[in-house]
Amino acid sequence: MRSICWVATPARRWPTPRPDEQRLLESVASCAAHAVPEPSRWARWAARADSAWGSARLRRHLRARGGQLGDERWLDLPGGARVRHRLSGPEQAPAIVLVPDPPNTIEHYDELTTRLVAQRRVLCLDPPGFGLSPAGPGFSFTLDELAWGVAATCDALALRQVTLSIGCVGAFVGLRLARLRPDLVARLVLVQMPAPDGMLAWMRAGYWWLFGTPFLGQLATTVLARRVAQAWYGTCLGPGTSVDALRAPASTLLERGGLFPLASAFQMFRPDGLAGGEALPPTTVVWGAADSTHAALDRAALRAFLPRARALELPRAGHYPDIEDPEHHGALLLG
């Protein structure tokens, strides 16, 4: 895979709050996870139908044409999910788990993985229901189900006390997993993660509302997946990042029947009960300041949501600072 980006600009740390600010932030954080209405039954039905149809279609592709893109493997999980993953590095080394932010997939992380494997055991996976990983029956894209998929994969591969790097909507999966399985997650690195209110507002803004509409959103995702992915890369990256280098693996993935269930992920997103930081492992938030798609999101709200997290900002990185600047992200994960 071609080099994606060379971002030489050093990261900036968000300012550390004063003691009085810290108390205020923690007070706000305690109220930040306000109740969000449960998904409607239409949304649940639509998500389950999307999962069942997409996974069945993907399994047909894998049988008929073969979905192999490189040296990855598949792992069969209880409940019928099949997880595509790549595991490399010394067996006894501390483990790092990389979870792609769709429409990214395993191949987008080749350069980052190369920087890590000499010193770490590195797992990169498409979670159930995404990429080339078909989900099992009844799967509906809740945070708990997605967290279970990552945890079950790590358990099957005997990984413990991992550093988990995960981004955007997936960052909330990381938070859920860290709270459910403190024995598994020793450290969190959350990439381009907005505060919950900002995430919910962003999902309803502009044409994104279409993907939040049950059944209509799933139909739009199925018909427009390639166009949405191509357009997304054209708008979300920082200066100096090769758009074509990110588009190519995503196009190959979708041509092989890969899953990009944007609508179901939007409709089932519920961030209740995740605020604060007392029960979390050491957490770092990495933010690409050149991401035009998230420019309007309030980073102060994120600071209130995770008041104890360390925050780093990369001025020239866009939505994917982990793959746009693999040198910086690799050093962060090894540190």
* Tokens representing residue 198 in the block: 């900002």
Residue 263 within a domain: yes
- Give residue 261's pLDDT: 95
- Is the residue at 43 inside a domain? no
CB 137 within 8 A of CB 78: no
Model confidence band, residue 270 (pLDDT cutoffs 50, 70, 90): confident
Handedness of CA 318, 322, 323, 328 (dihedral sign): positive
Q: Work out how many domains the chain is built from and give that number.
A: 1
In this structure, what CATH number is given to the domain that contains residue 249? 3.40.50.1820
Q: Which domain holds residue 149?
A: 12-27+71-334
- Most confident region among 39-53, 67-81, 200-214, 297-311 by mean pLDDT: 39-53
Helix axes 169-180, 143-156, angle to 10 degrees: 60
Asked if residue 151 belongs to a domain, the reply is yes
Question: What is the per-residue pLDDT across 126-182, written as a single tens digit (0 to 9) for each?
Answer: 999 999 999 999 999 999 999 999 999 999 999 999 999 999 999 999 999 999 999
The verdict on residue 41 lying in a domain is no
With a pLDDT cut of 70, the percent of the chain lying above it is 85
Per-residue pLDDT at 193 exceeds 80: yes
Give tens-digit pLDDT for 93-119: 999 999 999 999 999 999 999 999 999
What value does the mean pLDDT of the chain take? Answer: 86
pTM of the shown model: 0.88
What's the length of the chain? 335
Cis bond leading into 103, ω under 30°?
Answer: yes
Q: How far apart are CA 321 and CA 20, in angstroms?
A: 32
